[in-house]
Amino acid sequence: MQSKQSKFVPEVKNLLRGRSIKVPESIYKASGIIILGTRIKSLIFTTDVAVIKNSNANSVMAVYPFTPQLSITQAIMEVAQVPVFVGVGGGMTSGSRVINIALQAELLGAYGVVVNAPMKPDVIKEVAAVLDIPIIQTVISEYDEVEKKIEAGVSVLNVAGGAKTPELVRNMRERVGDEFPIIATGGNTDESIGATIAAGANAITYTPPTSSEIFKGVMKTYREKQEKEHGV
């Protein structure tokens, strides 16, 4: 007889879609964040539509290092079968342009918008005034004025502190309290993910391998198969 803590979960596999990207199981130890009625624990950090289509993550963190473009947002939204959180600027892109991009992202179906660390509280307040979806603020250091940004309208923090992420999450948790939603990068190991969750993260972003990296492995397998068939 199985205990309640170790329930067996049946899995139905698909032959042609077996080469999918699965986020680490350790992510699901996080509490999750309920956004628009959906509980989210894992976010895949990519804008690659092929990766998005072939991933089991709860949601997509679609942030990229270029000026936000609605054509990119629309392409991702058309492919994704899970909630999408869209980057709308905050660094080079600011002011009324951010407000317009954020509103368009909401109208396209985004579950939330992600603003970069440099965005000022007054701009956040203007964005919050026109949106009905959450504003997610990226935090990169303990020097960020997160209290003022939360007061201006930020609903979720997105902590990205590299190797120091657990430490930064702990700092944010002490400052915003136990109940404020925090997303954080978790790294690629169960140990780093566990440390980030233990520090106070409610959900984890996972950076998947690129399509080229996956293809490299596939091509290696094909070559080895052909060599074996020819006795090489």
Mind listing the pLDDT tens digit for each residue in 60-100?
Answer: 999 998 888 999 999 999 999 999 999 998 766 667 889 99
Instruction: With beta carbons less than 8 A apart as the criterion, state whether 51 and 21 touch.
Output: yes
**Count of C-beta atoms within a 10 Å radius of residue 130:** 11
Q: Where are the domains of the chain?
A: 23-229
DSSP 63-107: --SS---HHHHHHHHHH-SS-EEEEEESSSS-THHHHHHHHHHHH
CA dist 143 and 101 (Å) reads 27
What is the CATH code for 23-229? 3.20.20.60
Q: Could you report the per-residue pLDDT of 95-121, keeping only the tens digit for each?
A: 788 999 999 999 999 999 999 988 999
Q: What is the pLDDT of residues 7-41, one digit of tens each?
A: 787 877 776 666 789 999 999 999 999 999 999 99
Output the pLDDT for position 212.
85
Residues 68, 128, 131, 140, CA torsion sign: positive
Is residue 201 within 8 Å of residue 221, measured between CB atoms?
no
| pLDDT tens for each residue of 137-179 | 999 999 999 999 999 999 999 999 999 999 999 999 999 999 9
Q: Which tokens is 25 given?
A: 């199981």
- Does this model's pTM top 0.75? My answer is yes
pLDDT tens figures, 89-99: 876 666 788 99
Instruction: Judge contact between 99 and 126, C-beta under 8 A.
Output: yes
Does the pLDDT value for residue 181 go beyond 80? yes
Q: What is the pLDDT of residue 1?
A: 46
